[in-house]
Structures are given as C-alpha cells and as structure tokens.
Amino acid sequence: MTADKTSGDKTSDKLRSVSALHVARQAGVSRSAVSRAFTPGASVAAETREKIMRAAEELGYQVNDLARGLLANQSRLVGLVVTKPEVGFRAHLAAALTKALIHRGNVPVLINTGQTEQELISAQKTLLGHRAEATIILSGSPPSSFFELARRNGQPLVVIGRSEPEADHIQTDGAAAAKLAAAHFVACGMTRLGLAGSLSGTPTITEREDAFRAEARRLGADVAVERGNDTDYAGGLQAGRLLIDRADRPQAIFCVNDLIAFGVMDHARKAGLAIPQDLSVIGFDDVPEADWLAYRLTTFRQDPQMMAAKAVDLLDLRQRQPDLPPIRERFNVPLVVRGSFVPHSAE
C-alpha cells in the first residue's frame, strides 16, 4: 500500500502545474518578485529578473493569464459566435479572426451555436460567466435577446454581416455586388437570368437576393429565382437543378455564395452544359476552391484577413472610447474574373 501511495504522489506531482512559488524557490527569491518579473512595467532588479527567467525556463513555467485576468475582472477571452463554423467563407473568417485575436493577446473562444434560441442564450451566458472581454458574432441567426443579454452586462459586441442596434458592425456591400452582377450579365446581352438563393433567409443572403432581382428587372431582364434549403453545396445542387431543368433555362445565374455556385456548376455540367458557353455563373465570397481548375469561378471577393483586422480595430477603439456611438464599417467587394463568366469590361 505504501509503495502504491508513493507512486500515486509522484504521478500527482507530474500532473501538477508549475506555479510562481516553484519558480521563486528555484530562483531563491520571493513570490512577489516572480509576480513583478512577469508584470510589464513593474520594478525588479535586472539580476533578479534574470534569475527568475532562467528558473522559469528550466521549470517550464507559464503565467496563468486566466487567473490574472479574473483578478482584474477581465479574462482576455473573446467569444466568436457562429453557426456552422466549418462551412464555406465562415470557416476562413473564423480562422482569420482567431489568428488576429491571438496576435492581439486575446484568447479566442469559438462558440458553435445550436439551432434554438435557448442554446444561443446558454452560449452567451457561458461567455459572460467567464468574463469575456468582448463577443464577435459571425452568424446571422442569433435572436435579438442574445444581443440584449450582452448589452445589459456591458460587453462590447462586434457584429459581422447583420445589423443590430447598439453594436459595432462590419459589413460588405453585398447589394452593390449583386447589382453589378446583374449589370454585367445584361451588358453581355443576357436577358434570361437566374438567381440561386437560399431558404436560410439570413440578412446578408436576403440583401444579395433582393438587390440582384431589383436591378435585373430594372434593366429589363427576366429573373427566375430558386432557393436551396441552405447556403451550401447541396443547396446549390437543388437550386441548380430547378433553374437548369426549366424549359426557359437562364443564360446566366448569380449565386448568393460560392458553395451554391459550385453546386449549380456541377449540375449544369451533369446536364451537358458548357460553362461559360452555355451558362455563365457568378458567385460571392471567393473561397479558395473558387480558383480550382474544376470551377474557375468568377466571384466577388470578401477578404477574411481584412475583416478580421477591422474587427480587432473596433475592439481597440471601443475600449479606448466606450461612449462612442455604434460604428459601422462597410466594404466594397471586387469582382474576381475567372472562367465561369468574363464581362465585356475584362475582355
């Protein structure tokens, strides 16, 4: 029994985190000296600091930033709230935000929301309970009660891709892009147009759909509208089949995102159509797959690195000037011309 107990103690020691007290004993200094050595701007003799840093390196010591933040009532956690973070452009934006926040000194926490309001509110309560510094919302689906809970607790919010009172916003001008897509199609003599949309009904998707339809009809073109169940590849196959199998098949299709465009293009080729000779396609997002030889998709580019950098800038500005009115940043999205459609202006 004694041998087993000793073995257990050794295992426990191995699993126990190295603390500032261990560093102090190794360096032969006080616990407070270790604390000052790892606090920017604190006073500590150069020789003492060198001993402490050498001991910390030997022991593998790391400052417990979470504990330090909780004592200061600020954990440095930043919540990234997103529905289906693994899908399409959201995956690239979440990755860019994570990298930018780590560079800022934050600890990003990805909250993969569920589909019910209660799941969303539980996610936000988790962030508030851990004293998150701020929340960045990438999804268009959280209900208004989600935002209200954060506001009541004084937590800064950055919202990407939707409009919400009393929050800072980052948006791309999807309406302008959709109008430009319609104008390019009509300028090339295409008057039977298609819109491949989504039943998801998020604000960004609705904005693109409405703008394309209005502009196309203003220019005298007919628009056939079909929507997949979601803004993904399967949704693109659904919408593509409904559009392409029509007797009055469109000459060109605007897709509300690239994943839908991929589905549309694959169904078109399955139906024996050549792209762009028989059918022109424009997408939205410019995910890396858009440049694959299988697609060579002409699409509007959202820049995830630029959007992530702007989100961090907004957090910095909000911390410096908390009483500023809500800030709205809106970016234009350039058209990246590839093989699925070439406008006259690019020829």
Structure tokens at 204: 């960004």
* pLDDT tens track for 22-81: 888 888 888 888 878 877 667 888 888 888 888 888 877 766 555 555 444 456 888 888
pLDDT bin (cut points 50, 70, 90) of residue 279 is very high
Class in CATH terms, 14-63: mainly alpha
* pLDDT score of 14: 46
Instruction: Give the per-residue pLDDT at 288.
Output: 95
- Residue 151: pLDDT over 80: no
Residue 172 near residue 331 (C-beta atoms within 8 A): yes
pLDDT single digits (tens) 214-261: 999 999 999 999 999 989 999 999 999 999 999 999 999 999 999 999
Helices (H), the chain: 2-15, 20-27, 31-37, 46-59, 65-71, 88-104, 117-129, 144-152, 174-187, 203-218, 233-244, 258-270, 304-320
Rounded (10°) CA dihedral 51, 52, 56, 58: 10
> Which residue ranges does the chain devote to CATH 3.40.50.2300?
76-171+304-331, 174-302+335-346
- Whether 197 contacts 209, CB under 8 Å: yes
Nearest to 43 by CA among 55, 51, 35: 35
What is the per-residue pLDDT for 5? Answer: 44
In the chain, the amino acid numbered 8 is G
The pLDDT of residue 75: 63
CB atoms within 10 A of CB 345: 9
| DSSP tag of 302 | P
Whats the size of the chain, residue-wise? 347
- Domain 76-171+304-331: top CATH class: alpha beta
Average pLDDT, rounded, for the chain? 84
Which run of H or of E encompasses 158?
strand 157-160
DSSP assignment string, 227-293: EESSSSHHHHHHHHHHHHTSTT--SEEEESSHHHHHHHHHHHHHTT--TTTT-EEEEEE--GGGGST
Q: Which residue has the tokens 């995830």?
A: 304
* Residue 342 phi, psi dihedral angles, 5° rounding: -125, 110
Mean pLDDT of 200-218: 92
Separation of first and last alpha carbons in the chain: 84
Produce one character per residue of 166-185: b if its CB has 16 or more CB atoms within 10 Å, e if not: ebbbbbbbbbbbbbbbbbbb
Closest CA to 236 of 255, 210, 250, 212: 255
The reported pTM is 0.77
**Span(s) in the chain for CATH 1.10.260.40:** 14-63
Look at residue 3 in the predicted model and tell me its pLDDT. 45
| Fold for the domain defined by 174-302+335-346 | Rossmann fold (3.40.50)
Residue bearing tokens 């939205």: 284
